[in-house]
Amino acid sequence: MFDAPGSSPEQAFGVGELTTLVKQALEGGFPPLWVKGEVSGFKRHTNGHWYFSLKDAAGQLPCVVWARDTRRIPAPPDEGMAVFARGQLTVYPAQGKLQFMVDALEAEGEGLWKKAFDALKAKLDAEGLTDPARKRRLPRFPRTVAVITSLDGAARRDIEAVVRRRHPGVHLVLIGAVVQGEAAPASIVAALDRLARWGGADVAIIGRGGGSREDLWCFNDESVARAIAACPIPIISAVGHEIDVTIADLVADLRAATPSVAAEHAVPILAEVQEHLRRLGGRLADALEDRVVAERRALLTQLERFTLRATRMVERRRARVQQVAGRLEALSPVATLSRGFAVARDADGRTLTGRSAFAVGATFDLLVQDGRVHARTESIHDDAPHLPSRA
Amino acid sequence: MSFEQTLARLEQIASSLDRDDLPLEEALRLFEEGIAKLREANAALGEAEGKVQRLIEGAAGVLALEEES
């Protein structure tokens, strides 16, 4: 006779044996599936696991999210929040309890994503990291542009094409990074660290092409945001499409709608740079020419002033010379002689100025206006018609 | 000096030269420097095709540039 397990006290199951069997049956009967309901009694355990129940009007389902799976969920759900949970139905044998092991959790609409985004944004806002005043000016004429993205992504090709079209001489340096999935934040942070340590780029573009919200989520990661904010090189963020705004966009120095637009912001058009240089050269030449003209004018003015002054000086001197000459003339014996006076001199040329200088019989010369008269002293007298008579 | 810095210096020189109170000698010196910078910038623009390189981190965190095909 065959007794089925559990059909008699002799065939009784051990508790653990049975709960394990139930667990196996449950797991075999239910593949991973989505359940919707309202969150109730959410609790975050110190070991990192999350516990809560999903319920609706008719039932309740105990749920757990293991710590490693919580990392994929943008934010913990709020009490009463309507959510969709994906997981595996099982039994927790130690408590004989039905348990739903959740590995993905989504709120209706933007729910959890928006919550996580808003929370991080508020935190970074409070620290001033999203302050527009922090944003650095991009270099107008970069020679080297770094690109942090997936080496085999569309973003990289778009950026290369735009850069080549605008300015074939600009160097591109690619810094490969994982830009989706769980490894992405750490990979992007490492790429930013390389960019900073290398230091050879004038500006950097960080981003990726379009994707699902989950794909782009690494650009809402706090560590990525902080690495961008701390990067010594100006950063242009370019994540997904026009409508996708990420935390990375808020802390970057410039947000570009797409990677192609980022490349346009980063790199000037070569012809425009050449035109700019040409204009600068023109300004230099004009400025110098103006300067030379001005100097020449100043020099001519100086020369004129100098000539005028020199002429005046010569005239003044000439007038003085004439004045002195007049005075000299007045003092000159020649002038006196012309008035009829004569000067007596002895043979040695000494002027005979009084009676005592004469001797009777001695000869002397009389200098007159137009020559010399040799004379002899006949007699000497103390009276003269032009002198008052001596008392 | 980077291209950016060269251009910034050029603009600075052009502005300085526009001032009248600059001694002529200084103006001439600036002009010469400006012409040199202009040549430098033009030469940089005329350089061969821009390269596409990859920044690689090797052992012990050594960074190197590798040509991209």
Contact B11 A143 (CB under 8 A): no
Best A149, A189, A291, A293 member to test B by mutation, with max B CBs in 10 Å, is: A291
Q: What was the pLDDT predicted at A161?
A: 93
Which chain B positions have a beta carbon within 8 Å of A174's beta carbon?
A: 52-55, 68
Contact A169 B20 (CB under 8 A): no
Regarding pTM above 0.80, the answer is: no
Contacts of A273 (CB under 8 A, 6+ apart): A141, A167, B45
Which candidate from B3, B63, B68 shows the least CB-CB separation from A143? B3
Structure tokens at A185: 């934040």
CA angle A113, A117, A119 (to 5 degrees): 120
pLDDT lower than 70: segments of chain A = 1-2, 109-110, 329-331, 333, 386-391
Contact B53 A276 (CB under 8 A): no
- To the nearest whole Å, the CA of B19 is away from the closest chain A CA by 9
Identity at A61, one-letter amino acid code? L
What DSSP designation does A12 have?
P
Q: What was the pLDDT predicted at A87?
A: 94
Distance, in Å, from the CA atom of A339 to the CA atom of A260, rounded to the nearest integer, reads: 114
Would you list which residues of chain B are within 8 Å, Cβ to Cβ, of chain A? 2-4, 7, 10-11, 13-14, 17-18, 20, 22, 24, 27-28, 31, 34-35, 38, 41-42, 44-55, 57, 61, 63, 65, 68
Looking at residues B2-11, what average pLDDT do you find?
84
Which candidate from A167, A173, A277 shows the least CB-CB separation from B42? A277
Distance, in Å, from the CA atom of A371 to the CA atom of A334, rounded to the nearest integer, reads: 11
Summarize pLDDT for B30-56 with one digit per residue, the tens: 889 998 988 888 887 776 578 889 998
The count of residues in chain A is 391
Sheet holding A363-368, edge to edge: A343-345, A363-368, A371-376
Q: What was the pLDDT predicted at A391?
A: 47
Contact B3 A195 (CB under 8 A): no
Which chain B positions have a beta carbon within 8 Å of A164's beta carbon?
A: 50
Other CB atoms within 10 Å distance of the CB of residue B17 = 23
Which chain A positions have a beta carbon within 8 Å of B10's beta carbon?
A: 277, 280, 284
Q: How far is CA A26 from the centre of its chain?
A: 64
Q: Evaluate whether A173 touches A146 at the Cβ level (below 8 Å).
A: yes
ipTM of the complex: 0.78
User: Is residue A334 within 8 angstroms of chain B, CB to CB?
Assistant: no
List residues bridging with A343 in a β-sheet: A367
Q: In a 10 Å sphere around its CB, with 0-12 CB exposed, 13-18 middle and 19+ buried, how is residue A290 labelled?
A: middle
Give the mean pLDDT of chain B.
84
Which candidate from B10, B35, B55 shows the least CB-CB separation from A198? B55
Distance, in Å, from the CA atom of A363 to the CA atom of A98, rounded to the nearest integer, reads: 170
Contact B44 A294 (CB under 8 A): no
DSSP helix/strand/coil, A238: strand
Q: Which of residues 259-288 of A touch B (CB under 8 A)?
A: 270, 273-274, 276-277, 280-281, 283-284, 287-288
Q: What was the pLDDT predicted at A330?
A: 65
Summarize pLDDT for A319-328 with one digit per residue, the tens: 888 888 877 7
